Amino acid sequence: MKFKAVKGTRDFYPDRMALRNYLAETWRKVSLRNGFVEFDGPVLEYLDLFSVKSGDEIASQLFSFTDRGGRALAMRPEITPTLARMVNAQINALPRPIKWFSLPRLFRAENPQKGRLREFFQWNIDIIGSDSVLADAECIFTAIDCLREMGLSAEDVVVRIGSRPLTVAALRLAGVNDSAMETALAALDKRPKVSPDAFAEMAVAAGIPANSLDKLCEFQDAKNLSAVTASLGGADADSAAEIAKLESLMGYLDNMGVGDYCKLDLRIVRGLAYYTGIVYEVFDAAGDLRAVAGGGRYDNLLKLFGGPEVGATGFGMGDAVLEILLAEKGKLPDLSAGLDCFVIDGDGNLLDKVLEAVGRLRRGGTAADFSAKRQNVGKQLKEANRRNARYAIILRADGIGVKNLATGEQTGVPIGEFLENPSAYMI
């Protein structure tokens, strides 16, 4: 009988688990120092919750089922609907802005591809209750703070920043009316992923007049804000305000010391309908991989889920693409941490003393182990090395030897003295 893991899921053997923990701990550390607090919801939610934001077709991309009470449940494919549900339930008790993060385990009933799995982890950062561009800047800074903490420089990654309202304005100018807006946005979102011909075909099918495509591409390809204004044929008051927001945003990010990671790029549209302001995606600088992270402002979120009209902005960063990128850039950390010490029975008949020492060391916070196999000193030392122990503590009836396994240096200490303060002998 042979059992296998389900396709698109991962077995986290200790090496791989150490990497997963490194990502989670770095995400958590960076979130906290940026003033966010952690939340999580259940993996299982009522299926309805997920169609609010993403439409009924989302059901086909979910693992869902009916429970014994006849209720349709689903495994969450994202945390944002849960965030909206939870914030709405406490909206009057929560001081604003609400700065929350989470590290949810998520599920998608898709065919797995490179960087896209059926079970994965995602870092989510959200600020709710602020209309200020400062909140968008905070989120983008936090994403960059994490990437830099992981060793990725502005040579490695780039945050491409666009604007949903400006893109909508450009589409209106191009003659797209509001009823076709959602499909037109979806077509623009796909432009960077397809050939110019394929894009043209897709765009026309989505209701964008063929004769306005050049103008739209000029808008999307604008290299700076004055080129954006020009491509809109001068900006009306609303567009001017959106352009001013992008200008403020870039200034804030410069002030915070991360301007070099950021680039204006109106080709960034984001697939989902619900974005309402600045949008962005993080890519490897070479552009070989899927987006590492993506987000933006979605001021209608809480209202969509039955709550008040409140400003909201945030992003998600998945573990799968990030891991590929870190590996490609040689930035996976050395995670081979081992034991502080391995306690060795030097005389072969001191099990009681070994157990006493191990018990006291562990209770005092020292990572200690011993050989349950009852073997000779040489073999015990070998096990100590295999376990990556920093020190071997060799017990004998008349005292102990503390051996530094990296240098081979050994010091003799009376056992009682050692156990009083073991860290003094293991530096």
Told to check if 379 binds a second copy by CB under 8 A, we report no
274 φ, ψ to 5°?
A: -85, 0
Q: Which two tokens stand for residue 373?
A: 């196999």
**C-alpha span between 210 and 196 (Å, rounded):** 13
CB nearer to a second copy: pick between 173 and 367: 367
Instruction: Give the whole-angstrom CA distance, residue 106 versus residue 129.
Output: 26
CB of 99 or CB of 191, closer to a second copy: 99
Q: How large is the angle between the packed helices 164-173 and 237-255, nearest 10 degrees?
A: 150
Among 187, 228, 232, 358, binds a second copy (CB under 8 A): 358
Contact 343, 170 (CB under 8 A): no
Binding residue (CB under 8 A) for a second copy from 22, 26, 46, 186:
46
CA pair distance 83, 204, nearest whole angstrom: 36
Q: Which is nearer to a second copy, 141 or 219 (CB)?
A: 141
Q: Does position 35 bind a second copy by CB under 8 A? A: yes
Query: Hey, which residues between 143 and 202 contact a second copy (CB under 8 A)?
Result: 145, 148
Beta strand 399-404 with 410-413 is antiparallel
Site for a second copy in 240-299 (CB under 8 A): 252, 255-258
- 270 Cβ contact partners less than 8 Å away, ≥ 6 residues apart: 162, 164, 189, 279, 281, 294, 295, 296
- Report in angstroms how near the CB of residue 64 gets to a second copy at its nearest: 7
For residue 401, the surrounding DSSP H or E stretch is strand 399-404
Nearer to a second copy, 114 or 374 (CB): 374
CB of 251 to a second copy, least distance (A): 8
Peptide bond into 77 cis (omega under 30): no
Kindly tell me which of 9 and 226 has the beta carbon lying closer to a second copy.
9
Question: Does the footprint of a second copy cover residue 80 (CB under 8 A)?
Answer: no
Q: Is 367 in the site for a second copy (CB under 8 A)?
A: yes
Q: Looking at 19, 23, 75, 232, which residue binds a second copy (CB under 8 A)? A: 75
Q: Which residues of 351-379 are buried (b: 16+ CB within 10 A; e: fewer)?
A: eebbeebbeebeeeebebbbbeeeeebee
- Which region, judged by CB under 8 A, interacts with a second copy, from 47-55, 232-240, 282-290, 316-324? 47-55
Examine residue 344 and tell whether it contacts a second copy (CB under 8 A). no
Report the residue from 64, 220, 231, 276 that binds a second copy according to the rule CB under 8 A: 64
Angle in degrees, 0-180, between the axes of helices 14-33 and 319-328, rounded to the nearest 10? 100
Point out which span in 187-195, 199-207, 211-219, 369-377 binds a second copy (CB under 8 A): 369-377
Provide DSSP, 221-273: T--SHHHHHHHTTS--HHHHHHHHHHHHHHHHHHHTT-GGGEEE-TT---SST
Map the footprint of a second copy across residues 3-32, applying CB under 8 A. Answer: 3-6, 9-14, 17-18, 20-21, 32
Quote the tokens at residue 380.
Answer: 């015990």
CB of 26 to a second copy, least distance (A): 12
The residues in 97-116 that bind a second copy, with binding defined as CB under 8 A, are 97, 99-100, 105, 107, 109
- Computed over its alpha carbons, how large is the radius of gyration of the chain? 28
CA distance 361 to 421: 9
CB of 354 to a second copy, least distance (A): 8
Angstrom distance (rounded) from CA 294 to CA 272: 11
Residues 298-317 that bind a second copy (CB under 8 A): 305-306
Q: Which of residues 114-153 bind a second copy (CB under 8 A)?
A: 118-119, 130, 132, 134-135, 137-138, 141, 145, 148
Q: Is 223 near a second copy (CB under 8 A)?
A: no
CA-wise closest residue to 328 among 158, 156, 159, 155: 156
| In the complex, minimum distance from the CB of residue 67 to a second copy, in angstroms, rounded to a whole number | 7
Least distance (Å) between residue 315 CB and a second copy? 17
Among 22, 41, 225, 267, binds a second copy (CB under 8 A): 41
Residue 5 beta carbon to a second copy: minimum distance, rounded to whole angstroms = 6
Spatial distance between the Cα atoms of 185 and 161, rounded to a whole number of angstroms: 16
